[in-house]
Homo-oligomer: A and B are copies of this chain.
Amino acid sequence: MVEGASVPGGESLLFLTDEQLRKAIEAMFFAYRGFTSDPDRILENYAYGRAHHRAIHFIHRSPGTTVNNLLHILGVTKQSLNRVLRTLIADGLVESRVGERDKRERHLFLTDEGEKLEAELSEAQRTRMRAAFRAAGPDSVAGFKQVLEAMMDPEQRRQYKSLMEKST
Contacts and interface: CB of A to CB of B under 8 A. Distances in A.
Interface of A: 2-7, 11-12, 14-16, 18-19, 21-35, 37, 54, 61, 75, 122, 125-126, 128-153, 156-157, 159-160, 163-164, 167-168
Query: What is the oligomeric copy number?
Result: 2
Contacts of A25: 35, 122, 125-126, 129
Contact of A143 (B28, B136, B152): B136
Given A32-B32, A138-B5, A142-B3, A16 B147 contact: no
Given A6-B138, A26-B61, A141-B143, 10 more contacts: A3-B142, A21-B126, A22-B122, A22-B126, A23-B164, A26-B160, A30-B152, A30-B159, A33-B156, A136-B146
B125 A151 contact: no
B33 A152 contact: yes
